[in-house]
């Protein structure tokens, strides 16, 4: 049931037509799919409720965005609004079919059986949320990584690079499974690409020790996000084979951020990544390999 004391997310904004569509086979590696309050149980500790759409409503809005951007494949990232109950994400991946993969959420005491069930459902990774907090700790995540590696899964992390990278960079290099950083490491934009934590992340990407999503610019900047260009450029030039792109649809938990336009977000990517081969590597080849698309 909807809780009158909890705010409701804004409905997703339709995408404008980008100046150039994504190449054939492109992957949006970061979206969330939600549902109506009576479709999937929400976490009691959530900070907001989904906008008043059913799961099919969210999926239809997202498919429209994909058609506008030229996106064919999708990675659904489980939302903390649902806690560690992955049912909503598993169902979204099922409804989207062969062109979808998922990222789940587990607690520190996750079992082998839980991991097996997620792997069977095309869930390709587990997410650790340093920024908003969550149910999985860094120690718990590290303990899970051998089991993730055994299943061809990876660890996805939402961190603030300026606050967290010094603590975790050494451990990242030693982990047995791939690591993916969300939203360009949610950096201190004013400090620029020379900030030590961001540079530590760039080094991980350059060495192939981590992936990073060139996504979520609207979380740290204002449209059309020109002040993030040096950060995106530093990552893309470091190693395009370890860069991914995502829209972050449907733009939940905005806080002080403005609702973005996914067409402008793709334009911002093209503005910085001008090489056709690098664009294809980031939008198609790297995510197809990481998420196991055919």
Classify the phi-psi angles of 251: left when phi > 0, otherwise alpha if psi is within -120 to 50, otherwise beta: left
Dump strand ranges (E) for 114-185.
123-129, 154-158, 179-181
When pLDDT is averaged across residues 161-184 and rounded to a whole number, the result is 96
When pLDDT is averaged across residues 54-81 and rounded to a whole number, the result is 98
Structure token pair of residue 275: 């090489």
When pLDDT is averaged across residues 179-188 and rounded to a whole number, the result is 98
The answer, yes or no, to whether residue 2 has pLDDT greater than 70, is no
Pairwise CA distance, residues 267 & 214, whole Å:
12
- Contact indicator for 2, 49 with CB cutoff of 8 Å: yes
> Could you report the per-residue pLDDT of 69-123, keeping only the tens digit for each?
999 999 999 999 999 999 999 999 999 999 999 999 999 999 999 999 999 999 9
| Mean per-residue pLDDT of the chain | 96
The answer, yes or no, to whether residue 25 has pLDDT greater than 70, is yes
> Could you report the per-residue pLDDT of 202-227, keeping only the tens digit for each?
999 999 999 999 999 999 999 999 99
> Could you report the per-residue pLDDT of 124-169, keeping only the tens digit for each?
999 999 887 779 999 999 999 999 999 999 999 999 999 999 999 9
Instruction: Flag whether the pTM goes above 0.85.
Output: yes
E strand or H helix at 170? helix 161-174
Pairwise CA distance, residues 25 & 6, whole Å:
39
The answer, yes or no, to whether residue 1 has pLDDT greater than 60, is no
The answer, yes or no, to whether residue 5 has pLDDT greater than 60, is yes
**Each residue of 80-94: b (16+ CB within 10 Å) or e?**
bbbbbebebbbbbbe
- Residue 49 β-bridge partners: 8
């Amino acid at each position: 049931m909807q809780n009158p004391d909890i705010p409701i997310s804004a409905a997703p904004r339709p995408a404008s037509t980008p100046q150039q569509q994504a190449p054939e086979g492109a992957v949006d590696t970061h979206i969330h799919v939600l549902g109506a309050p009576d479709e999937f149980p929400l976490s009691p500790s959530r900070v907001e409720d989904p906008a008043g759409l059913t799961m099919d409503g969210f999926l239809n809005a997202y498919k429209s965005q994909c058609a506008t951007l030229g996106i064919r494949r999708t990675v659904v990232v489980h939302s903390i609004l649902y806690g560690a109950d992955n049912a909503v994400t598993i169902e979204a991946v099922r409804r989207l079919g062969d062109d979808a993969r998922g990222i789940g959420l587990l607690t520190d005491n996750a079992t082998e059986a839980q991991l097996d069930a997620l792997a069977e459902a095309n869930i390709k990774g587990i997410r650790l949320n340093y920024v908003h907090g969550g149910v999985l700790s860094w120690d718990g995540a590290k303990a899970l990584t051998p089991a993730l590696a055994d299943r061809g899964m990876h660890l996805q992390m939402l961190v603030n690079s300026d606050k967290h990278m010094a603590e975790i960079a050494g451990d990242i290099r030693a982990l047995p499974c791939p690591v993916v950083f969300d939203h360009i490491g949610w950096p201190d934009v004013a400090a620029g690409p020379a900030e030590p934590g961001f540079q530590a992340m760039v080094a991980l990407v350059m060495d192939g020790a981590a992936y990073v999503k060139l996504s979520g610019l609207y979380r740290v900047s204002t449209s059309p996000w020109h002040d993030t260009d040096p950060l995106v450029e530093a990552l893309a030039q470091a190693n395009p084979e370890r860069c991914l792109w995502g829209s972050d649809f449907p733009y939940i938990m905005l806080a002080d951020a403005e609702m973005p336009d996914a067409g402008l977000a793709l334009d911002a990517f093209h503005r910085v990544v001008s090489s056709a081969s690098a664009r294809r590597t980031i939008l198609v080849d790297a995510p197809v390999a990481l998420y196991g698309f055919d």
